[in-house]
Amino acid sequence: MMELFNLVENLTNISGPAGREEKIRSFLYKEAEAYGDELFIDALGNLIVTKRNPAGKKLLLAAHMDEIGLMVTFIEENGFLRFSAIGGIDKETLLGTRVIFSNGAAGIIGREKLKEKEVAGLSHFYIDIGARDRHEAQEKVKIGDTANFYPLCQRTGSRLIAKSLDNRAGCALLLQALKNLPATLPNEVYFVFTAQEEVGLRGAGTASYQLAPDFALAIDVTRTGDTPEPEYKMDLSLGNGPAIKIKDSSVICHPAIIERMIRTAEKNKIDYQLEVLERGGTDAGSIHLSRAGVPSGALSIPCRYIHTPGEMVDLSDIAGGISLLVELLTEKW
């Protein structure tokens, strides 16, 4: 577990807002290099690691490596930065949040005082980088620069708290499965670390078009129903095993894939949960609609506080997901 913790910690410490995945991609490239027959970075920045078997079915596995972030839109006269969201930023968690720019510049998010009953919008917030005026701010950042939440990975028992566990937890699962697999597989498998999921499942769509797989699985986090929430019911908890997705807002998973995943989990006595996510999507959403359609499913890691600076997962769910994926990939599809 310590090894897995270290891998997830390393992954969450790296920056990679959607469209600016260079740093996280080069880390994954180095980690995966020894385990793939071929590595390729495509036009949108997806990292594609292939394990060849021309005689087998073609399986695409997609874990997005990008994270949500902020982009500078305007620099005020007094040096404060206005910004736009990259992906689904949760306004409730912005005030007082630390951010770091890709060039290392540090900042903290402030908010204008609200009038009575006024609801905060993104336009009420600004990033304070400690600059005295616009000129000083411009020495540190420019329009279009990106930032992400400041990384800090904490462990509490088997659980982890960190930024970007969506989807570095999924990247860890996919990478570790790749490392644990034997040299030759009964299928041809594409391990794809996708770009730009958080802005609309973009990288996965072009990767899928290019690779033309027979089947696909997305690997991502999903919400849970195990926090104080009287109104909202979801039958998923941290620590009860990885989840086999049935449906979310982007995809209705193919029944044959769901059935295969359940059968493999039960045969190998791996704990699993069934996921119906009422709001949210993942890479399978664009993959299953590519070309003439691709039967798709998803393996999910339960995660609390998604899209906040402190997301939480249980290491045992990631470990269970690794076992299930390894078993699935050593079967002939």
Give yes or no for a contact between 186 and 332, defined as CB atoms under 8 angstroms apart: yes
Report in angstroms how near the CB of residue 22 gets to Zn ion at its nearest. Answer: 19
Q: For 67, which DSSP code?
A: B
| Residues between 159 and 218 with contacts to Co ion, criterion CB under 5 A | 166
Beta bridge partners of 312: 161, 304
Residue 31 binds which entry of Co ion, Zn ion, none, CB below 5-8 Å type-dependent: none
Residues of this chain that interact with Zn ion (CB under 5 A) are 166-167, 220
Report in angstroms how near the CB of residue 68 gets to Co ion at its nearest. Answer: 6
| Residues between 227 and 256 with contacts to Co ion, criterion CB under 5 A | none
Residue 220 binds which entry of Zn ion, Co ion, none, CB below 5-8 Å type-dependent: Zn ion
Judged by CB, which is closer to Co ion: 166, or 317? 166
Judged by CB, which is closer to Co ion: 31, or 166? 166
Residue 188 binds which entry of Co ion, Zn ion, none, CB below 5-8 Å type-dependent: none
Give yes or no for a contact between 59 and 329, defined as CB atoms under 8 angstroms apart: yes
Judged by CB, which is closer to Zn ion: 107, or 297? 297
Report in angstroms how near the CB of residue 103 gets to Zn ion at its nearest. Answer: 25
Would you list the DSSP string of 170-223?
HHHHHHHHHHHS-SS-SSEEEEEEES--TTTSHHHHHHHHHH--SEEEEEEEE-
Q: What does the alpha-carbon distance between residue 178 and residue 17 come to, in Å, rounded to a whole number?
A: 24
Residue nearest to Co ion (CB): 166
- CA-to-CA dists, residue 234 to 90, 223, 243, 249, 310, angstroms: 20, 8, 12, 15, 21
- CA-to-CA dists, residue 172 to 7, 81, 225, angstroms: 7, 34, 23
**Residue recorded with tokens 């708290």:** 161
Catalytic residue (one of 31, 67, 188, 197)? 197
Catalytic annotation present for 197: yes
Judged by CB, which is closer to Zn ion: 220, or 314? 220
Report in angstroms how near the CB of residue 6 gets to Co ion at its nearest. Answer: 23
Q: Shortest CA distance to 320 belongs to which of 215, 185, 181, 177?
A: 177
Report in angstroms how near the CB of residue 10 gets to Zn ion at its nearest. Answer: 18
Report in angstroms how near the CB of residue 299 gets to Co ion at its nearest. Answer: 16
Bridging pattern class, strands 154-156 and 159-162: antiparallel
Residue 283 binds which entry of Zn ion, Co ion, none, CB below 5-8 Å type-dependent: none
Judged by CB, which is closer to Zn ion: 277, or 322? 277
Amino acid at the residue 240 = N
Give yes or no for a contact between 12 and 164, defined as CB atoms under 8 angstroms apart: yes
Should residue 67 be labelled a site residue for Co ion when binding is judged by CB under 5 A?
Answer: no
Give the CA dihedral 6, 48, 250, 277, nearest 10 degrees.
-20
132 is written with which tokens? 């005295």
Number of residues that bind Co ion (CB under 5 A): 1
Residues assigned a catalytic role: 197
Contact set with Co ion (CB under 5 A): 166
